[in-house]
Amino acid sequence: WKAQYARDRDGKPMPFELVQQALEQTAPFEVFTLRAMIAVPYFEKALYELSEEDIVNREKVIALADEVEKRICGGLSARPLLSVPHIMSDESSCYYHGYVLAEMAVRQTRAYFLDKFGHLTDNSAIGPALTEKYWQCGNGEPFLGLVEAMTGAPLTSKAWVADLEEPLDQQIAKARAMYDAAVARESAPADVESLNMRLICSDGDTTLSDSQTDGGIAAAAAKFEAYVRKRFFEGGAGGKL
């Protein structure tokens, strides 16, 4: 999508060097995000397995959180487990299990689409597939069944783990190939008006643009862009975007 939409004022796509730089700075550390996510469910599981006597023992709960962090994250976390608000409220307990499962589903679905279609951005086949398999049924189907119906395979962590295990040089090479293919496709940008939505851009209580009165989404966005450029970049506060 960066090759298609991240363009400068002359219409040139973001240089691949910036895409590569972002990968080099983030990809090697993605596993820490995974570890931080799964640490919460592991802690909750251990917490709810405590005896009634121990679960109200402040020192034992703190020690348990520290033990889980060291075991899952490799050390005490910059975001202590007991600072996660979901754990402290009964209506949001076990929410992180859902976050982990959702990320697994995203990775598996993305891998499925890439294998089937070769690209994602502006692929008109993906929206209908998501609508049919994921959204149309509402809450009428179980989550695990949705993923299997879409991808043809039960939900697993395989795609997520594969992303994490892929060597950085291979990630860069794959990103380069996808970037070049996207530039070569030169597909027309998606028709934003087909979103059938109302866009209102505001600054506090002041409405800067409104797609309902300004001629559509693109026109409202352009009006907002002009406001930002005039206020922040043409009045001596900075240079061109």
- For 131-187, how does the pLDDT look when each residue is reduced to its tens digit (9 = 90+)? 999 999 998 999 999 999 999 999 999 999 999 999 999 999 999 999 999 888 866
CA angle 135, 4, 26 (to 5 degrees): 80
The stretch 212-221 carries a mean pLDDT of 95
Q: Which pLDDT does position 131 carry in this prediction?
A: 96
Q: Is the dihedral of CA 216, 220, 221, 222 positive or negative?
A: positive
Q: What is the C-alpha separation between 201 and 50, in angstroms, rounded? A: 50
Mean pLDDT of the chain: 91
Mean pLDDT over residues 34-54, rounded? 94
Please check whether residue 33 is in contact with residue 77, taking contact to mean a CB–CB distance below 8 angstroms: no
Reply yes or no on whether the pLDDT at 237 is more than 70.
no
Q: Band of the pLDDT at 33, cuts 50, 70, 90? A: very high
pLDDT (average), residues 85-92: 88
What average pLDDT does this structure show over 104-126? 94
Q: Is the pLDDT of residue 9 over 90?
A: no
Other CB atoms within 10 A of residue 3 CB: 21
User: What is the pLDDT, as a whole number, of residue 240?
Assistant: 46
Contact 65, 73 (CB under 8 A): no
pLDDT above 50 for 19: yes
User: What pLDDT does 152 receive?
Assistant: 96
- Complete DSSP assignment for the chain: -HHHH-B-TTSPBPPHHHHHHHHHHHGGGHHHHHHHHHHHHHHHHHHHTS-TTGGG-HHHHHHHHHHHHHHHHSS--SS-GGG-HHHH-GGGTTHHHHHHHHHHHHHHHHHHHHHHHS--TT-TTHHHHHIIIIITTTTSS-HHHHHHHHHSS---SHHHHHHHHS-HHHHHHHHHHHHHHHHHH-PPPP-GGGG----EEEETTEEEEETTTTTSHHHHHHHHHHHHIIIIISSSS----
Q: How many CB atoms lie within 10 A of CB 240?
A: 8
Residue type at 130 in one-letter notation? L
pLDDT tens sequence across 183-197: 888 666 668 888 889
Tens of pLDDT, residue by residue over 65-78, are 999 999 999 999 88
Residue 51 has pLDDT above 80, yes or no: yes
Looking at residue 100, its pLDDT comes to: 95
Q: What is the pLDDT of residue 113?
A: 97
Percent of the chain with pLDDT over 90: 75
